Chains A and B, each alone.
Chain A
Amino acid sequence: MAQVRALVITGYGTNCEMEMAYACRRAGAMCDIVHISDIISGTYAISDYHFLNLAGGFLDGDDLGSAQVESVRLKHARIKNTGKTLFEELLSFIEKGMLILGVCNGFQALVKTGLLPGNPFGRRRVSLTFNDSAKFEDRWVRLSINENSPCIFTRTMDHIFLPVRHGEGKFVCDGPETLEEIQAMNLDALYYADKAYMPTMEYPENPNGSVQAIAGICDNTGRIFGLMPHPEAFAHATNHPSWTRMETLPTQGEGMVFFDNAVKFLRGIL
């Protein structure tokens, strides 16, 4: 069986690299945590991997808006030995049919760089802005899954329970056409949901006021996926906020499904 090679990029304010790598390894991939300066210096190459993870954090402090500076870095910082920008490197990675998962700040980076929803790559068509509450909040939310979505990561699931931990997670589009396109192509893979797992606009079940309750989107191949909730924060059963109420403890956290799906898909194509 082919070894799936996962990469978690860190540095400049990324915070969730450890648990992201833990989830990748638990799913059966080998995984390196690589500082972005090591990619720019040419010590590590994105092209050596199959599964790229952009983890949560506060890149550059989110000081000009979440992941705003990261989008500038991806488009302008050049890799030493090849002279290519990180963005160009990502495009070749995508072209090869590999997977990208962006969580929270990583999702914000994908969106601000125009890798999600794509069509075309590089143009920013949606954004993630301040929660309607204007507060950073750490809370667990119910999520329902768009079963018609091409998303690789959410296959075989219809709902999931995960924590959100952000101040800028409100999903917005640059206009009604973009939203219609996203919905028509089922790129809206994940919704904030109520107790009956129906998409909801009610706070706090929808923690930020995202349009159409959208919590995560993919590109039209389903291989690039970004979401505000943290699947890597529920890799272990004891991450569940009320696991002490369970009669028996599951062997792993629900968030592992995304990583299991990714590794399974890659094993199928490698």
Chain B
Amino acid sequence: MPYRLEVGLKPGLFDARGERTKRQILHAFPNLPADLQIVSLDVYTIEADDFPYELLSEAFCDPVIQNMTINEPLTLDFDWYIEIGFKPGVTDNVGHSAGYALRLITGRDHPVYSARAYLIRGTLTRAAATAIAEECLANGLIQYSRIIDPQELSAIKPYIPVVSLDSTPRVEDLSLELSNSILAQLSQERTLALTVDELKTISAYLRDPAIQQHRSTVGLGAKITDVELECLAQTWSEHCKHKIFNAEIDYEENGSHEKIVSLFKSYIQKSTAEIREKAGDDDLCVSVFTDNAGVIRFNDEYNLVFKVETHNSPSALDPYGGALTGIVGVNRDPFGTGIGSKLIFNTDVFCFADPYFSEKLPPKILHPIRIFEGVREGVEHGGNKSGIPTVNGCIVFDNRYLGKPLVYCGTAGIMPAIINGKPSHEKTILPGDLIVMSGGRIGKDGIHGATFSSEEFHEASPTSAVQIGDPITQKKLTDFLLRARDKDLYRAITDNGAGGLSSSVGEMAQLSGGCRIELDKPPLKYQGLSPWEILLSEAQERMTLAVPSERIEEFVELSRQMDVESTVIGEFTDTGYFHCTYGESTVAYLGLDFLHAGLAPMRLSARWEDISQPDPPTPVPDDHNTMLARLLARLNICSKEYVIRQYDHEVQGGSVIKPLVGVSCDGPSDAAVIRPLLDSAQGVVVSNGIIPRYSDIDTYHMTACALDEALRNYICVGGDPEHWACLDNFCWCDPVTSEKNPDGAYKLAQLVRANKALYFYTKAYNCPLISGKDSMKNDYVGPDTKISIPPTILVSVIGRMDDVTKAVSMDIKKPGSHLYLLGITKKELGASEYFAEHGIVGSSIPKVDADTAMMRYQKLHTAIMDSRVKAAHDMSDGGLAVSLAEMAFAGGCGIRIELGAVQTEGSLLDTEILYSESPSRIVIEVSKEHAADIERLFGGDARRIGETTTDKNMVVFGQDATILIDQDLDTLMKAWKEPLDL
């Protein structure tokens, strides 16, 4: 009989995990008695029966703090026992490590399955205990739960979640000579996300006599195999092919029409091309839009690699696994760029609904607090365990993210520009190079991830699309591959993400001109997978490499030594075909041209209309002290320290400007600075901008403001405006008009306008886009609700500063300094946090004047490099009042401000000056002895609006010299800190 082990803390020790679980339970079920007791246990099930207690104890029990029992309960002193474990086939990282530990001791393989159990003491019905298990502790998609009373526990049997597939692997031949309605049905039933037109393109290809003749040479007929159809569906998915960004669009604005052929080419790629051309020899771009991530120059010897991805749909289903996979997945992008880079930082930006949401949830939607906590923890485990510091990010709240949260994860890497005499950003593959898969094994995990995320989220969304990342397997893999890279053991590398091998090998095959994959070769987690599943599986922690045959022995030997599984699964060819075999038979044979270029562009219509309502008269509060505290406590403004502290932002030792700064290390930093090369003073600067609220008025200005926010954050810490680049990440609601999506043309117009802004402003700021990503179907469709996210762009900026010792943080440094406001304040409260606090949207959206802003940023950079600036902080959500309060309480130093000194456009109310969100504005603290320098440098663009004081108050005088705000910093800070101190 298998062993079932229970491991629990010795009596008398504080059960921290149990206490935290109790807090979570009471948050979800506030009516439960507060004296409920929760005890946490670890449960292991082992398929073996001949181990002595001592052996198991050495592996599983810490004798200082824990007790362990075998096949009997640790205690029966409880009312309910709840066990949560993984369903068959779900990645069980703890079980995996446990099996490894046993192998170290015994030299043999024994499967181990882990579970977590909670003993509940308290008067509860079985129904209440079940609700706790199902609604708070377990995610039914991936986990089982057992609710057991003491009597039942004595007789409990081990639960072994072993995968047993009774299916034998098979290949199906399908005819596509079908009616439109049957084709549509086929696409839906197989989660292909292919349109009828796309399926007809495939059937036309198969009817081509020349193609038929080629197919007959490998034993295939006129029907398509399921392997081929699935492969095409992946490759042609919105997720992989970006069909909307490459569509032909008829854009209508005020009655005039414009034809746009590919948003990507017309705006994004074009801007970068023009910036690069203008830069000439100073071009800092090294590799853009072609690889898994963008590459720019860092210095003469090193290049930086940066990519941001989203993992929204999986995070909606399983927040923990989805986000964990998101972060370890995006790690593989810079890792798989060129011949691979060393990873130096992560960023994360989340968009959630209100964690205190109290209305009824639509079906299949998890409560926002579960999404929040699950995503937070997934990114925590993925980032911390991988040893990559999470240095920058933010969290945006809007209840339209209830249906789909947005989980942006970014990773940068650094690589020597030349490795083994070759440019490291280039991949080459020669015919005859072996296709090698390294890392994890293949299971059913994540099958149809790419096509699933190309659809809206609905009640019947497939659960196989969920995977759970394994940071340690990946860490071992990256340790190994960086070494193999430096030993020149492979020629090209790419990651297995969406679409699995079909996508990774399919893309690499373009470099040699073909490939032949033997689908019976990749190692599997369990038997019974069909060839198409092996090809498409999105099982994590796998890289695909092109290894020259003369290096394969050394490659495999190093891999074995470093405990990483590597398998030759085929070879690259120059046949022009994507060829897959299974055993003796060919199961796929598709022309590479057809696979990659066989799809005609979509044709779409976009129609812009300004639907915003004019601003009402600006509401004026009775008391600005209260209003400021209310704004500071808004979810989009308040402190995110609870999340930031749980992310290691200092590992790798190069931290310079941290996410939390100031006298008590709790002020909100504008951007991050790190030293990736520890013996150099050169720094990497990273920042972000995101402001989806503005999409309610106009996505053009939303985009401009997001870019400007990222850039001014970057400038505030000391980043060099001559050496910056950015990434765009679009998350949109479905912009294709259909019966269930009648306003698609408007949403597409929003997308067009965002692209127009991106083109104009990246050029104006001379900040090239180097990579990006789009996620276009962020809608939830329930039986009687549809929730679409507000169009959201995240702009992530990466760049350099030459000397990190010149970096500046946002906290006020000392009393007796001058405070200058750089830039003009306009009556721009449309979609502001202040209006939102009053339930208003309005129309006066903040607009970016890039030319004056760019001059300001260049001057500020000069001033920072000349050590003339003691603190700098940008104005964003909540405007001047919020930013000043943050500077003051972060520095623990009072300030005195006169609104009459603020440069305004026309006459503004005090309220408008305080809370307007006009972009490109920055407050700087300057010592009195440097005041003249600053005034000379900036001229009229810098207005001295106040000074820092020896007390601990924020005092603001209105334009008529009356006191508007007089509040002590502790009160302000408390208001700002409380909302998300979970």
A residues apposed to B, CB below 8 Å? 10-16, 18-19, 22-23, 35, 37-38, 41, 56-58, 60-65, 68-69, 72-73, 75-77, 112, 124-127, 129-140, 163, 165, 170, 172-174, 209, 230, 232-233, 235-239, 241-242, 244-245, 249
Contacts and interface: CB of A to CB of B under 8 A. Distances in A.
27 contacts: A13-B385, A16-B653, A18-B653, A19-B652, A19-B678, A22-B679, A35-B479, A37-B561, A58-B385, A61-B470, A64-B94, A64-B98, A68-B101, A72-B59, A127-B65, A129-B65, A130-B16, A134-B20, A135-B20, A136-B384, A137-B645, A163-B650, A165-B384, A170-B16, A233-B651, A235-B653, A238-B804
Nearest to B472: A61
> Dominant SS at the A interface?
mixed
Nearest to B106: A76
Contacts of A58: 384-385, 387, 471-472
B645 A64 contact: no
A196 B890 CA distance: 22
A257 B331 CA distance: 34
Contacts of A41: 561
Contact of B479 (A11, A64, A134, A238): A11
Interface in B1-59: 13-14, 16-17, 19-20, 58-59
A69 B101 contact: yes
A63 B813 contact: no
Contact of B808 (A68, A165, A244): A244
Interface in B828-879: 871
B104 A37 contact: no
B807 A238 contact: yes
A70 to B, nearest CB: 10
A243 to B, nearest CB: 8
Nearest to A19: B653
B665 A174 contact: no
B62 A112 contact: yes
A11 B563 CA distance: 10
Interface residues of B, number: 69
B110 to A, nearest CB: 14
Interface in B359-412: 380, 384-387
Given A18-B653, A58-B384, 13 more contacts: A13-B476, A18-B652, A19-B652, A61-B385, A64-B97, A76-B105, A134-B17, A135-B20, A174-B64, A235-B653, A236-B653, A239-B656, A241-B661
Contacts of A68: 59, 62, 101
A40 to B, nearest CB: 8
Among A19, A22, A61, A232, the most chain B Cβ lie within 10 Å of the Cβ of A61
Interface in B441-490: 470-472, 475-476, 479, 483
Contacts of B561: 37-38, 41
Given A126-B64, A236-B675, A13 B660 contact: no
B62 to A, nearest CB: 5
Contacts of B476: 11-13
B380 A136 contact: yes
B650 A230 contact: yes
A56 B65 contact: no
B472 A13 contact: yes
Interface string B794-820: 000000000011011101010000000
Contacts of B17: 130, 134
Given A72-B101, A135-B646, A137-B646, A13 B651 contact: no
Contacts of A125: 64
A242 B104 contact: no
Contact of A140 (B63, B65, B665): B665
B866 to A, nearest CB: 16
A238 B656 contact: yes
B951 to A, nearest CB: 19
B647 interface: yes
Contacts of A15: 386-387, 475, 651-652
A127 B19 CA distance: 20
A244 B661 contact: yes
A235 B563 CA distance: 32
B59 A172 contact: no
5 nearest interchain CB pairs?
A15-B387, A19-B653, A63-B97, A134-B20, A127-B64
B753 interface: no
B678 A22 contact: yes
